[in-house]
Structure 1
Amino acid sequence: MQLVVSQLLPAYFDESVTQVSEIWGKEWAVEKNDLIKIVAPSGSGKSSLINFLYGLRTDYTGMISYSGKDLSHFSPEQLAGYRKDHISIVFQDMRLFADETAALNLEIKRQLNPYHPPEKIKEMAERLGIDSRLSFKCSTCSYGEQQRIAIIRSLLQPFDILLLDEPFSHLDNNNSEKAMQLILEETRARNASIIYADLERSEIFPYTRIYHL
């Protein structure tokens, strides 16, 4: 699946930002197996970009197209189907069901489109060091634990593009490296692509292209 972004600009941004940004107001594309790093200083619209690409917000000018189809023309049913089959995401604010257990948060996601068997949840949790927390409500987990739950959740479905919005902001270097390795393994197994947006250049993400927002 190809993603093409053309002349995209948040409706609340002045057009002058296009003179310094390598993303806003430009044309760029994501092909199979691309690893895209977007360096995005605070206030540059990083989360807005991720939300635009995921179809959560439409307050922009320009066009986002998946496989030649304009995202703004998707019906709610088409958008839900694309998210289920083609686009996965790790939100900056995780967006877990706080009053449900980590295990249930993950199983709900897995059942929407069972790419992995149920036992894969425990295997991934063990690799990221949170298997002992699966039976706990997410509200009782630390931010670092919640972030690892959100990362695992994103890897339980099929996807062609994985969107990452500051996925390691609450993790130390060791846990970040473990999570990055798991993400890369799962992405390569699908011949998929990653768009990874963060405040600074990451040394653990082996990007094929880098842009400054």
Structure 2
Amino acid sequence: METIELQQTLPEVFAGKDMVISDVWHRQITFQKGKIYLLEAASGTGKSSLCSFIYGYRKDYQGIITFDGRNVRSFSVREWVDLRKRSLSMLFQEMRLFGELSAIENIRLKNALTRYASRKQVDEWLLRLGIDGKKEQKVSRMSFGQQQRVAFVRALCQPFDFIFLDEPISHLDDGNSKVMADILCEEIGKRGAGAVVTSIGKHLPLEYDRVLSL
């Protein structure tokens, strides 16, 4: 996948509003592979909804979203499965981890589907993020910051052309935020991928190609 394009896209819940001031909603925006984007937003402006629209998780929007020129509404279930396995990775704000499983079990579930990352690579990411000693701990007993780091590693355990990260450091200190940014830069550089990061204030310290206001 080379491009993700939004054409006059707007959440249906915003449709009754007289004026929506945004660089994204009701405009034509193209995310290009190989570039890094920051979506700055206030709470309630639809950043998590946008991620869900692009991931195919929700369809309650107006306008058109296309991948390489093809309307995503036309994709079959099988095509969505393949896209989420090989082309599109998503780190949701709510993380969607399995609380009854350990950190490493959550990661291995994803990696078992894609067979992308080696055990050595996963262990290295966990070590750099300071949670290698927590990998056997149940996620439900981990702090939100630790869970964010687990979810981040899980999101890396697949090939992707684009990775979306919805408020990925809301519970991280500056040190761990920097480590996450470094790992992300390394991975998108290796893969030639694009990245879209959302933020309501604190954001990953990256060199963004474009900053958009949602």
Coarse TM-score class (shorter-chain normalised): over 0.9
Structure 1 distance, partners of 2:204, 2:6, is: 26
Cα pair 1:8 1:60 within 8 Å, conserved: yes
Q: What is the root-mean-square deviation in Å for CA atoms of aligned residues?
A: 1.2
What is the deviation of 1:16?
A: 3.1
Q: 1:43-65: per-residue Cα shift (whole Å, max 9, x none)? A: 11111111111111000011111
Q: What corresponds to 2:152 in structure 1?
A: 151
Structure 1 distance, partners of 2:119, 2:43, is: 38
Corresponding letter in the other structure for 2:190: A
Structure 1 distance, partners of 2:199, 2:175, is: 18
Q: What corresponds to 2:212 in structure 1?
A: 211
Q: 1:174-207: per-residue Cα shift (whole Å, max 9, x none)? A: 1111111111111111000011111026371211
Cα pair 1:102 1:136 within 8 Å, conserved: yes
Q: What corresponds to 2:74 in structure 1?
A: 73
Q: Which runs of 4+ in 1 moved over 4 A?
A: none
Cα pair 1:40 1:46 within 8 Å, conserved: yes
Confirm whether residue 31 of structure 1 aligns to residue 32 of structure 2: yes
Q: What corresponds to 2:190 in structure 1?
A: 189
Structure 2 distance, partners of 1:180, 1:126, is: 15
Cα pair 1:17 1:24 within 8 Å, conserved: no
Structure 1 distance, partners of 2:19, 2:59, is: 19
Structure 1 distance, partners of 2:169, 2:54, is: 20
Q: 1:86-115: per-residue Cα shift (whole Å, max 9, x none)? A: 000111011101001111110111121122
Cα pair 1:39 1:201 within 8 Å, conserved: no
Cα pair 1:107 1:118 within 8 Å, conserved: no
Judged with a 3 Å threshold, the aligned counterparts in structure 2 of structure 1 residues 139 and 78 are, in CA distance, closer, same or farther, namely: same
What is the deviation of 1:155?
A: 0.7
Q: What corresponds to 1:9 in structure 2?
A: 10
SS at match of 1:12: helix
Q: Mind listing any 5+ residue stretches in structure 2 that lack a counterpart?
A: none
Length-normalised TM-score, structure 1: 0.96
Length-normalised TM-score, structure 2: 0.96
The 5 A counterparts of 1:91-130 are 91-130=92-131
Q: What corresponds to 1:137 in structure 2?
A: 138
Structure 1 distance, partners of 2:173, 2:203, is: 13
Corresponding letter in the other structure for 1:54: Y
